[in-house]
Structure formats: structure tokens, C-alpha cells
Amino acid sequence: MCFLAPALSSRLDFIQNAIVQKTAPKTIAPNQNQSDRLLGTNLSQVADWSTQMPFIDAFKSSRSWITQDRQTWSTEEADKLDLDENGWVKSLPSAEDGDRYTSVGTLMFREIPNGYPGGKYIVLYDGEGTIEYDFDAKKDEAASRAGRDVINVTPSEAGIWLKITRIDPNNYLRNIRVIPAAFETSYQKQIFNPDFIERVKDFKVFRFMEWMDINNSDGGQWRDRPTLESARYSKDGVPVEIMVELANRTNIDPWFCMPHMATDEYIAKFAQYVKDHLEAERKVYVEYSNEVWNAMFEQHGWVAQQAKTQGIEQWIDWYSQRTTEIMQIWDRVFGEDKDRIVGVMAGQSANAWLLSRALSYEWSDNPLSHQEYGIDAITIAPYFGYYFGLPEHQAQIEAWTAQGDRGLDLIFEEISQGGALDNGAQNGALQQAYEQIKTHTDLAQQENLQLLAYEGGQHLAGVGSVANSDRITKLFIGANRDSRMGDIYRDYIQTWFELGGGLFVNYNDIAQPSRWGSWGLLESVEQKSSPKYDAVLEALKHLSSN
């Protein structure tokens, strides 16, 4: 049985949060244009354990250096590493240095449950020293030579272990690349895993929040940005050069998030690179940080402190001010082409007051227009089902896990129509999301702005201690793999556009499910189909044909 969302009721007119009306409602809804109906996706985090595997060079996704001695897996002395500006180890400590560690290592393809491409890999490097391999990788001594090791890889969840035991400090090991043998002559130009490109090529926008390592970022100086020479992209983010290159190769519009501590110089130089190298027909979406309203991220506390230091009453006012400053910098850099920039003001789906306050520019005695501030859109994350994972519902959902297929039926009943979960959302999780969307499309229309979704989709994940329940995790993963979730996504995306939403950016593309959530449309780059992925591809094809 397929449970679909009920028809929209009069409750869509209910406004849970007060909206400060600056001007009379506009008669034209800016999100109703067919050309505004676009689907994008967030790209998941670059990591050694990620199943996205976006780069040919596996080292770019490797784990940060692990310091070791002969008895200890990690001596936890990363702060004592002698690194160059790109993250390469320049020397190992001598006995008199007093450090415990005597070698350093890193992991690739760690804990990939369904495996990763095996076979022959080529390890290229500059400098002199000794590199050893273990776990899934065995060195072919006969085929190897200085600067080019050959390793044979038999995939397991252990992954590839690369260990440096000796370094010539006068010519230290650097520029290490781990390349499947088939790409040895082409990796410098190809860069991206063709399977990754194939899975994401139909989307119209990529939001690079995770690739930029925006949450809890400690960067913001242009001189400290990741570059093409960076040892890995899993530590401080992917360089702007790589993100622009991906946008050009896939013909998508990029969505960039500026770090919360980014200086004006950083923003201007980032914008200048994008202007100079992104294809001229591409739009650029620009956002200040990510979910600054969310107290679980360090950016919220930092922004709140800036507001306090400057005597600004509400943190949202400082966020609003900094957002307008950032958008004006981008507009100035792009000059006559500033119409390519879509400046967004982000808020919380469940609290419309935040965006209403941000758009009122209370921090200014003589506020400019949205257009003059470079604000073109507001954006929310209209997830559905967050409340399923709350501790107050744990006992009841634990009971569902013992009911076999009926437990999944109850999940979809609660999503689609409500009533299955005590004290759940009236009329279900989808209806709750639709009401929040309607509240914000009304606000967008009132302000003559677009409404975008910076993230969205299902939100079946344990919150707090609930994440430790293996039975609930298994149930939530099962629901995401169920064909009915595809039907839910079809209804959800269609209703987003019917309510007046513009660009919808799914969260996210490819990620393995865990107790932290089942966010990926696909669980692995090698997977070609899933209910959620298929539903989104159908929507993309439908939108492209209209």
C-alpha cells in the first residue's frame, strides 16, 4: 500500500509565527515562473569513509595524518607535526625531540560497507623517504621504483593504509597521489570519478556547503584557504578552483557558502575567481555560512558574540547585516554581470519570525531595498519527519520496530496523514512541512523575493540518545529504502513547487546510512538506483521537459 500526502487543507493559511509586514503584499508571486522550478543537490562531505568518492586521486579524500609509534595506533600528537603550508610532513622527530610518535599514516576508503574499486593502484610522489602499505594494499616491489609505487588492492572495510616511516628533511615526501592504474595517464585532466559525474550530472545546482567544510569552520583568511597544492581536501575543504571546474564540466550553477569568519578580502577574491573562471551563462548562489540559527554549530555562537560586542540586540540582526555586506561585495565584483548573483538570506523553516526580522534590517536607521543590499531570495530547509527522532517518541517507535512490516507501515502513515504517533504533528509530517513552506512563500511574496530550499527531504534520524538505538536506526534506514519513500518524495517535491517554491536543493547526493541519518539519495557512488534517487530523477526530467 502506498501512503501519499493528503490534499492541502485550510490549515495552510495558519501562520504559527508572527510576520512583521514591511510592505503590502505583492500581487505577483516571484516563485511561480516555470523557469524558477529547479532541482539541485548538496554534495556530501569529502572524507576517507565517504561513499561519494568524487576524485580520481584517492589521497585527496584521505584522513588527516595519524601519529604513531610501534605500539600505539595513535599517539594523538597531531599538534607536534612538522608540516609545510600544504599539509605535507617535512620531518619525523628524532629521539632527543621527546615526542612519542616515530611515523605517520593515513587511511583511504575506510569502512566502506559494500566495497570500493580494487585492483592495481599507482602511488606517485615527490621527494625521498619510505612509504609502507597495509590493510587492503600490498606493494608490488618488483613493479615499483622511486617516485612510483605499485600496490595491489583487495577491498574490505579496513581500507588502504599508507604509512611514512622515514623522511629526508632536505627533500621531504610530498605531492602523494593514489591513482587507479587505469587513470595514471589521465588523472591530471580528468580529476573527477566518472561514476560520480554520472550520478549527479542531471542536477541543476550543487550546494558546496559540505565540500567547503563550512560548519564549525576556523578559517576565513584568503591566505589560509585550501588550494590545488593542498595535500588533501578532507581537512579544510575543497579549493574554489575544483568547485568551479566541476560546475563548468557538469553545466550546473554553484551555490557557495562563505565561512562565518571570512574577511572582506576573502569574499572579494573568492568572488573574483568565480567571475573570471565560471562559464558566463552560469548563475551563482551565495549564502553566509550555514544555519547560523542552529545553536549546535559554532557559527551561531560566534555571530551571537559579534552582535553582543557591537551592542546589537539580536544575533539575527548582526547576521542580516553581515549577509548584506557579503552580497554587496559579490555584486561589486561582478559589476555589470551582478544579475548572475543570487544573494540569499537564510532562515529556519519552523520559525518564520527569523527571516521576517532579518529582512526588516533593524540594524539600520535608514535601510536600503532588498535589491540594493543584493538580497534576491530567502531560503529554508523544509525537512519532514524531524520529530520522529525525538526522545519523547523513542519508546513508541521502539515498539514499532518489533512489529515487522507493520512498523514500516506506521512510519508512512505518520508521514502522510498523521495519527500513528502519539503527540505527532497534526495531519502528519508532510502536512507540517507544507504549512511551514506556505508561511514562507507568503513572506517571499510579500517581500517580492524568491523562496529557495537550501536543504530538504526526509529527516528520519535519532536525536541525542535516540541515535544510539540500533533498532530505531534499522527501522529508519528501512523506511528510506522502501518504495513508498520514493512516492513520498514525488508528492513532496511537486507540492513544494505548487506552493510557490523555487529552486529546491536536496540534502544530499551520496552517503551511506548510519545512526546519524539516511541523507543520501544513493548509498554509494556505485549504486545506480534507489526509490529516492529515482523519484528525484523523474522530477528533474519532468521539469526539464516543461
Same domain, 154 and 215: no
Cell of 347: 532562515
Average pLDDT over residues 374-379: 98
In a shared domain, residues 357 and 272 = yes
Local structure of 440: helix, strand or coil: helix
Do residues 475 and 399 lie in contact, with contact meaning Cβ atoms separated by under 8 Å?
Answer: no
Alpha-helical regions (H) of 107-239: 187-190, 194-200
Count up the domains in the chain and report the number: 2
- The torsion angles phi and psi of 468, rounded to 5 degrees, stand at -85, -5
pLDDT at 333 over 50: yes
4 within a domain of the structure (yes/no): no
Which regions of 27-154 does DSSP assign to beta strands (E)? Answer: 39-42, 66-68, 82-83, 89-91, 103-108, 119-126, 129-135, 137-139, 148-153
At 537, is the secondary structure helix, strand, or coil? helix
* 428 and 322 both lie in a single domain: yes
**Residue 128 sits in the same domain as residue 243:** no
Q: Within a domain: residue 2?
A: no
Give the end-to-end CA distance of the chain in Å, rounded to a whole number: 30
Q: How far apart are CA 247 and CA 254, in angstroms?
A: 6
Cell 543570487: give the residue.
Answer: 342
Write the CA distances from 93 to 65, 103, 166, 420, integer angstroms.
15, 9, 10, 61
User: Coil, helix or strand for 546?
Assistant: coil
In the numeric block, which cell numbers belong to residue 95? 629521539
Task: Check if the beta carbon of residue 415 is closer than 8 Å to that of residue 385.
Answer: yes
Domain hosting residue 519, numbered range: 10-50+195-545
Q: Are residues 142 and 225 in the same domain?
A: no
Residue 532 in this model has a pLDDT that exceeds 70? yes
What pLDDT score was predicted for residue 544?
Answer: 87
> Is residue 176 a part of any domain in this protein?
yes
Which grid cell sits at 153? 588492492
One domain for residues 149 and 168: yes
pLDDT band at 34 (very low <50, low <70, confident <90, very high): low
Which has the closest alpha carbon to 51: 531, 535, 522?
522
> Would the pLDDT of 24 be above 70?
no
Dump the DSSP string for 486-506. Answer: HHHHHHHHHHHHHTT---EEE
Q: How far apart are CA 162 and CA 487, in angstroms?
A: 44
**Stretch 422-439: mean pLDDT, rounded?**
97
Residue type, 116: Y
Residues 264 and 220 in one domain: yes
- 93 and 166, same structural domain? yes
Question: What DSSP character marks residue 192?
Answer: B
Identity (one letter) of the amino acid at 231? A
The answer to the question of residue 5 being in a domain is: no
Residues in the chain: 546
Q: Looking at the structure, tell me whether residues 38 and 128 fall in a common domain.
A: no
Q: 98 or 408, which is more confident?
A: 408
Same domain? For 21 and 34 the reply is: yes
Last residue of a domain, which of 121, 155, 190? 190
- Give yes or no for a contact between 44 and 519, defined as CB atoms under 8 angstroms apart: yes
pLDDT at 103: 96
Query: Would you place residue 336 in the very low, low, confident or very high pLDDT band (cuts 50, 70, 90)?
Result: very high
pLDDT higher than 50, residue 22: no
* Long-range Cβ contacts of 265-273 (<8 Å, 24+ apart): 265/221, 265/222, 266/220, 266/221, 266/222, 266/225, 267/326, 267/329, 267/330, 268/329, 268/332, 268/333, 269/222, 270/222, 270/225, 270/240, 271/329, 271/330, 271/333, 271/334, 272/333, 273/240, 273/241, 273/244
Among residues 135, 170, 190, the one where a domain terminates is 190
Q: Does some domain include residue 264?
A: yes
Inter-residue contact 42 to 506 (CB < 8 Å) = yes
Q: Which of 418, 526, 430, 525 is nearest to 485 (CA)?
A: 430
The per-residue pLDDT for 26 is 26
User: Mean per-residue pLDDT for 2-22?
Assistant: 30
> Residue 450's closest CA among 528, 504, 507, 384?
504
Pairing of strands 253-258, 205-207: parallel
Distance, CA of 376 to CA of 344 (rounded, Å): 6
Same domain for 298 and 341: yes
Q: Return the minimum-mean-pLDDT range out of 12-26, 78-92, 251-265.
A: 12-26
122-162, pLDDT tens digit by residue?
999 999 999 999 999 999 999 999 999 999 999 999 999 99
Give the DSSP letter string of 353-376: HHHHHHHHTTT-SS---HHHHT--
Is pLDDT above 90 for 477?
A: yes
Residue 482: per-residue pLDDT: 98
- Distance, in Å, from the CA atom of 275 to the CA atom of 364, rounded to the nearest integer, reads 30
In this structure, the answer to whether residues 26 and 73 fall within a common structural domain is: no
The model's pLDDT over 214-239, given as tens digits with 9 standing for 90+, comes to: 999 999 999 999 999 999 999 999 99
Cα within 13 Å of Cα(356), Cβ side: 19
Q: What percent of the chain has pLDDT over 70?
A: 94
Secondary structure in 3-state letters for 380-398: ECCCECHHHHCHHHHHHHH
Task: State CA 114 to chain mean position distance.
Answer: 22
CATH number at residue 46: 3.20.20.80
Does the pLDDT of residue 250 top 70, yes or no? yes
- Which of 190, 205, 238 is at the close of a domain? 190
Whether 308 is covered by a domain: the verdict is: yes
